Amino acid sequence: MQFTELWIAPIMCSMTTSIPCVLMRGGTSRGPFFLSDWLPADLALRDRTLLAALGSPNELQVDGLGGGNSLTSKVAIVSRSTRPECDVDYLFAQVSVDEARVDTRPNCGNMLAGVGPFAIEQGLVAVAGQNTTRVRVFNVNTQARIDVKVSTAGDHVQYEGDVHIDGVPGTAAPVLLDFLDAWGGVTGHLFPTGNRIDTIDGINVTCIDAAQVMVIVHAHQLGLRGDEPPAELDADTKLTARLETIRLEAGRRMGLGDVTDSVLPKPVIVAPGPTAGTVYSRYFTPKRCHRSHAVTGAIGVAAALLLPHTVATDARIEAAAGTRRVTVLHPAGSIHVDVELASKGGEIALVQASLVRTARKIFEGKLFVPDHVFHP
């Protein structure tokens, strides 16, 4: 079913406003997908609508679509792109679970996996009987382009398939994500502080903007192995407080200002994996450890692993031009990232990164938002 309703014609019913909505799983995340026309143009009203849609602020989000976790409190807003090299624009919104806050500074690569299927089904991209349909996505948050390759048959998206990704039960059709220019998208620089290693609170860190803005810490500097389960890390209040101290200072040095109320930068703890090209990673969102791993975070970790002179650099891998596969070992399993490197001006530079995700459409229909959201 393809929705055609616009925001200018909402349906009023018993003191609620009805708007179209598609609930989707993208990678290891889940949230509602909207065409931009389905939401208010006024940004403050749009954010109030998103908070109500997810049921925030409430730790259980019992009055909305959220699942009481940052991984299930996400929103994708999609529109036809005016850029000739892109098909659609994708704006990601992280909706806080327990605060009335919507953050559109970060990107989410897991939710991105659902953007291609959603765009096709909403008529923004033609399939024309191809087995694979490429959707050229412009991420508004990071000003980067990502090519999303969706499995299709006839004129339809294929959700069923035999690909399994760790952190999601069962199998589904593959969705290939090619990140083409995700380097320095938020801060303007791959290494925003101008250094590959900085010292914050006596800890060596790498501040990097590679698909995601992160501050990476080597596990041994915190007295950790790097493969601890999320519950153990979250329960260590001294650790989480120290990570937040590091994150706040890293945000300031990266030119982001006071990041107290922002989810950027994301703290990440890494340690060498058992073989060359593998790395243990514990990704924080930012105040709780991710139960699996962010796609954009995996790309950033892979970049830091392959580039020389960072806290994550794997000395077992030669820094040379070509495509390298990095396996990011996270609490639910692993993510494989293929990173293309090139030699530019005598230095190794990032070209693009690719990985496979899956997506599933869960629900399609009307979302009812309390009328007080629009008439506070």
Same domain, 256 and 139: no
Per cent of the chain over pLDDT 90 is: 88
Rounded mean pLDDT of 76-93? 97
Task: Note whether 88 and 123 are within 8 A (CB).
Answer: no
Task: Note whether 66 and 51 are within 8 A (CB).
Answer: no
Q: What are phi and psi of 29, to 5 degrees?
A: -120, 170
Q: What global pTM score does this model have?
A: 0.87
The mean pLDDT value of the chain amounts to 94
Res. 6 pLDDT band, cuts 50 70 90? low
Is 90 exceeded by the pLDDT of residue 181? no
Same domain, 17 and 71: yes
Question: Which residue range forms the structural domain that includes residue 269?
Answer: 198-353
The pLDDT score that the predictor gives to residue 376 is 74
Residue 193 lies in a domain: no
Q: What three-state secondary structure class fits 168? A: coil
Name the strand (E) or helix (H) holding 235: helix 230-235
Cα separation, 296 vs 112, in Å, equals: 10
Residue 6 lies in a domain: no
Is 50 exceeded by the pLDDT of residue 1? no
Residue 329 lies in a domain: yes
Residue 122: CATH number of its domain: 3.10.310.10
Same domain, 22 and 164: yes
